[in-house]
Each structure stands twice: as C-alpha cells, then as structure tokens.
Amino acid sequence: MPDRPTVLFVCVHNAGRSQMAAGFLTALAGDDIDVRSAGSMPGDQINPVAVEAMAEVGIDIAGEQPKRLTEDSIRTADVVITMGCGDECPYFPGKRYEDWVLDDPAGQDLETVRPIRDEIKRRVETLIASLGR
C-alpha cells in the first residue's frame, strides 16, 4: 500500500452512509489518507438528516455533493468499502474490499440516524488502525 492510501466509500445514492464515513475519515485521519466517496445511483443531494447528525459531532458535510461511481475511482483506490450497494459495485482484483452492512439513513429521523453515525465512526476508527495511521 502506498505511503498515502486511497479509501473509497461506496453506497447506492452517495447521500448518507458513504458521506458520513468519508466525513469521519477525513476528520480523523487528516492528510494521512486520501478519502473519496461515490454512489452507483447518486442522489440529488446529501441526506439533510445525515448532515445534521454529523454536525452534532462537529463534522460539516453540508457542502458535499453525491458523485457517480466510476471504474476509474475504484481502479485508483487501495481500499473500497461498500455499504449496501450489492451487485451494483464493480470488483477489481488486488483491491482490499470491505462490505459494511449498515442501515440506510434515507427517510429516517435523527434519533434513528445517530446510532448509524456512531457505528460508522467506530468502523472508521478500526479502518484507520488497520492502515497503520
């Protein structure tokens, strides 16, 4: 793995889980890890409840926009973490893949999204440790 690994978070709409994960990884790892996120069918905007849940812990993802998953984004990543996109996610040999099974925050209230957010943070912290950061 290169000196500065690239981690790509992927979910269907790139509006909730993957954005929260990218926000946590950026905040916790700083410049040690290149962080990206994308969706197989990106939504029109970031889930406002995900934005609110992240703001509660001091991380601003309000300026982010859902991005389309491309083969190039996977090809250039060292670690690809999928979150419920199933068969929509292309696979490239030689990459480190993890599938984080997490509830989808879409259409949920803040009380429901908070535990999802907290689980994402826990997994991001584990990921950082596994990358030696």
Residues noted as catalytic: 11, 85, 89
C-alpha distances in angstroms, 133 versus 3, 61, 76, 111, 129?
10, 22, 20, 31, 6
Nearest-angstrom CA–CA distance, 21 and 113: 13
The size of the chain, in residues, is: 133
